Amino acid sequence: MNITAAQYIENTDYDPPVTRIIQATIDGVEMFVPMTAGNRHYDEIMRQVEAGDLTIADADD
Amino acid sequence: MSKAAELAALIGSQSALSHRNILINGAMQVAQRATSVSDLGGSNDVFAALDRIKYFVGNTAGRFTAEQVAVTDLPGFANAMKLSCTTADTSIAADEFMGFKHLIEGQDVQHLKKGTSEAKSTTLSFYVKGNAAAEYTVELRDIDNDRINTQTFNVTTSWTRVEMTFAPDTTGTYDDDNALSIQMAWWLHAGSTYNGGTFASNSWASRTQNNRVKSSNSSFFDSTSRTLFITGIQYELGEQATPFEHRSFGDELLRCQRYFQSVDNARMTLNVVRQSDNLKRCTLVYPGMRSNPTLVFVESDGDGATISVQETATHGSELRMTGGGDSNVPHVERYTVEAEL
């Protein structure tokens, strides 16, 4: 997978807010990826992060 | 053999009379993503045309098209998957590979009793033909224990039903969960990294890379004339191939939707709840999926608002629409959710 962007999305319905989604551009497609092990997109994002090939941006304020 | 004797033999082999086929979409009925995808190749591991089939390709200049095609010369089947070589690669480097595979959850194969003293034989069958004679390899791979069992099959220019029984394996159990346990792979092209070792037919062993494919394996990329048609894929418990278990389109579609759903004309504006001028929310509900899916808005219009996703779950996702004021009507016309293995 070619991942060119990744950013956390904060769910502000909770107090404090929780983060369960990463918005990412994968193979040119914008995707909302759940932070769930076993989701193949999330697994690949984390693999690239651990390899130092990808950084996940903080959520917008 | 009388019908009663055939039935007794079938029961004796411990094959069920229904729900025998462990694989989904074996008759190639469902193609939610696309009915035809061209220019597959390079280094990809993708779901493209036809549900539940994943194409694996690496390090090759070869390219191919995958499509769902109508069948008129195989009574009982209306569809098949057709693969066509569009760019040949006759100089096969060691690390090249190409094929397609079915992926199966561990919780769906507990009845095979693998890794126990009561482990059962299993049988794969399918109908296949091509533009010319060829020999390819099927690899039954136990992902949980990294073990493989491989066999070859022959292709002719006429439909042939291939039947191959895999010996039971008393080593290594399949995990009882929703993760990948079985990978059934059809190898159509391989370099010496994968076929340069000692090929052992129908023998379980720990995965050794160069033993995975037979050295005499044909190359699907040897000519742009090369085609492969396949349908009626069935994987079942027991030592004999039973007639293909036909299922309704709706049944197969629902099974496929556990892993991928493409929804058109969702018209989610109907479900929006307005919380304030600048905040609206919507809950998307869909048939249960294998795990929390990735969501993609294929066609949407925020009408001035920003549509985002708060979370996705197996039965639904929560969307959030911010900005745009009181009168805007954000909507999603088409979306996909994916929880593939």
Which chain B residue has its CA at the smallest distance from A18's CA? Answer: B310
Q: What is the ipTM of this complex?
A: 0.96
In chain A, residues with a C-beta closer than 8 Å to the C-beta of B179 are 38
pLDDT tens-digit map of B111-156:
999 999 999 999 999 999 999 999 999 999 999 999 999 999 999 9
Q: Average pLDDT of chain B? A: 93
What pLDDT does B13 receive? 53
Which chain A residue has its CA at the smallest distance from B341's CA? Answer: A40
3-state secondary structure B167-222: CCCCCCCCCCCCCEEEEEEEEEEECHHHHCCCCCECCCEECCHHHCCCCCCCCHHH
Mean pLDDT by 10 residues, chain B (341 residues): 62 69 98 97 89 97 98 98 98 98 98 98 98 98 98 98 98 98 98 97 98 98 98 97 97 98 77 70 88 95 86 93 76 92 97
In chain A, residues with a C-beta closer than 8 Å to the C-beta of B295 are 31-32
Residue whose tokens read 């569809």: B79
Of B179, B294, B311, the CB nearest to A31: B294
Which amino acid makes up residue B273?
A: V
Which chain B residue has its CA at the smallest distance from A43's CA? Answer: B341
Separation of alpha carbons B287 and B298, rounded Å:
19
Q: Which of B180, B286, B309, B338 to mutate to test the interface with A (most CBs of A within 10 A)?
A: B309
In chain A, residues with a C-beta closer than 8 Å to the C-beta of B55 are none
